[in-house]
């Protein structure tokens, strides 16, 4: 079945297809339609919807619901995500599966409701205290907002970890068609859960370990899990990279601009390609090596002052990596990226 929806509504539809049982959240622009759609659809289907009194309350509600074995979803934007971070750290420490949609807006502070990618560090690098990671998926279309939400629930349960869907104001508010496919409902058995049955009385879900060795054991178990995630779940799209002299790279809505610029430059005879991470953690380092010439230069385009670029530089320590950015709710025009790329191609020919 096809449906023409906003990206935010696609998240809710994806959650329901994935068998999500409950939504807890607090509305904030530009993510508010997620709460609005959840209020409509979840209640009609006999599922749980609660608008919490604040973001801090909603992350703790989702904590308890996940501990009871439910598939759970919450959503917010920059300021609200900041308030949730302590709860995410607790949830990661308890190894609980949850899904969080972050529809990024411009900051710092209240900023404005325009698109930005300034939440990259606080989401991809952990955000809360302690040694932990969360899986981060980066859609670039309304269809992927839908599809990756389903994927997020599968990964959350597979690894017992928080999973973020990291989008932005443009993706959340734009409308595109999605193909809604019936899928099996959630039938995963969670033997670790705590519910009202006597069978779970002896289960323990906690992030407090007063013995130093005990806490170190937990942290190292988590670390081993993260190494497995890095090995098995990193994902990226590559486009015309095999012979590229210049590779454009960016995630989310930016990657759609990059693909158009690549097509334009290719039509003019320039050897240009693109790498688009679909996962930001784990970062798809191999995609920057396995399908790209050793002599290629890279141009990072992002809606922040150089947060994403640091991971690209870590993946390419011996390469030339340049940066093009806009902030404050602005998105670079295709011509802006085109001229930056063209200048780098000309510099490359001169130096060569």
CATH architecture of 236-351: 3-Layer(aba) Sandwich (3.40)
pLDDT at res. 196: 85
Q: In the chain, where are the structural domains located? A: 2-232, 236-351
pTM score, whole prediction = 0.97
**Token pair recorded at residue 302:** 């992002």
pLDDT at res. 145: 98
pLDDT in tens, 12-41: 999 999 999 999 999 999 999 999 999 999
Q: Residue 82 and residue 140: Cα distance in Å, rounded?
A: 23
Q: Residue 25 and residue 96: Cα distance in Å, rounded?
A: 18
Tell me, rounded to whole angstroms, the distance of Cα 35 from its chain centroid. Answer: 18
Whether domain 2-232 has CATH 3.40.50.720: the reply is no
**Token pair recorded at residue 321:** 């990596």
pLDDT at res. 181: 87
3-class DSSP assignment, residue 40: helix
How long, in residues, is the chain?
A: 352
Beta strand 279-281 with 135-137 is: antiparallel
DSSP string, 146-201: HHHHHHHHHHHHHHTSEEEEEEEHHHHH-EEEEE-----------TT---SSGGGT
Give 351's pLDDT tier (boundaries 50, 70, 90): low
pLDDT at res. 157: 97
Please give the torsion angle defined by the CA atoms of residues 157, 94, 119 and 167, in that order, rounded to the nearest 10 degrees.
20
- In this structure, the number of other CB atoms found within 10 A of the CB of residue 343 comes to 12
pLDDT in tens, 46-103: 999 999 999 999 999 999 999 999 999 999 999 999 999 999 999 999 999 999 999 9
pLDDT at res. 184: 66
Strand order in the sheet with 321-325: 236-239, 272-277, 246-249, 297-302, 321-325
Catalogue the long-range contacts made by 45-51 (C-beta closer than 8 Å, 24 or more residues apart). Answer: 45/16, 47/16, 47/20, 47/21, 47/22, 47/23, 48/21, 48/22, 48/23, 48/24, 49/22, 49/23, 50/22, 50/23, 50/24, 51/25, 51/26, 51/27
Q: What is the mean pLDDT of residues 299-328?
A: 96
Q: Residue 28 and residue 165: Cα distance in Å, rounded?
A: 16
Instruction: Kindly tell me if the per-residue pLDDT of 127 is higher than 70.
Output: yes
Nearest to 275 by CA among 299, 304, 306, 310: 299
Q: Residue 172 and residue 179: Cα distance in Å, rounded?
A: 17
Q: Residue 153 and residue 160: Cα distance in Å, rounded?
A: 10
Task: For 7-40, give one letter per residue: b (16+ CB within 10 A) or e.
Answer: bbbbbbbbbbbbbbbbbbbbbbebbbbbbebbbe
């Amino acid at each position: 079945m096809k449906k023409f929806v906003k990206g935010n509504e696609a998240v809710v539809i994806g959650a329901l297809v994935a068998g999500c049982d409950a939504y807890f959240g607090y509305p904030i622009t530009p993510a508010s339609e997620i709460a609005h759609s959840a209020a409509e659809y979840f209640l009609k289907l006999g599922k749980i919807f609660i608008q919490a009194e604040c973001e801090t309350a909603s992350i703790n509600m989702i904590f308890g619901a996940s501990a009871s074995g439910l598939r759970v979803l919450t959503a917010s934007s920059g300021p609200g995500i900041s308030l949730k971070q302590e709860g995410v750290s607790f949830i990661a420490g308890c190894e609980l599966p949850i899904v969080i949609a972050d529809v990024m807006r411009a900051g710092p502070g209240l900023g404005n409701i325009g698109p930005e990618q300034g939440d990259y560090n606080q989401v991809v690098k952990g955000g809360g205290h302690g040694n932990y990671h969360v899986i981060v998926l980066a859609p670039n279309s309304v269809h992927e907002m839908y599809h990756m939400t389903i994927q997020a629930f599968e990964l959350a349960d597979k690894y017992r970890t928080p999973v973020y869907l990291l989008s932005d104001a443009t993706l959340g508010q734009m409308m595109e068609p999605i193909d809604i496919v019936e899928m099996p409902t959630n039938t995963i058995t969670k033997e670790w859960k705590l519910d009202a049955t006597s069978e779970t009385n002896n289960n323990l879900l906690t992030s407090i370990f007063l013995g130093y060795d005990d806490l170190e054991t937990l942290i190292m178990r988590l670390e081993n899990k993260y190494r497995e995630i890095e090995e098995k779940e990193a994902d990226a799209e590559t486009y015309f990279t095999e012979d590229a002299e210049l590779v454009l790279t960016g995630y989310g809505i930016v990657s759609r601009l990059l693909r158009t610029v690549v097509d334009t430059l290719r039509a003019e005879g320039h050897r240009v390609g693109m790498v688009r991470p679909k996962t930001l953690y784990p970062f798809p380092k191999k995609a920057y090596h396995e399908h790209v010439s050793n002599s290629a230069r890279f141009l990072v385009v992002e809606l922040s002052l150089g947060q994403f670029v640091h991971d690209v530089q870590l993946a390419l320590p011996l390469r030339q990596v340049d940066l093009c950015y806009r902030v404050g709710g602005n998105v670079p025009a295709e011509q802006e990226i085109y001229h930056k790329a063209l200048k780098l191609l000309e510099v490359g020919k001169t130096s060569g």
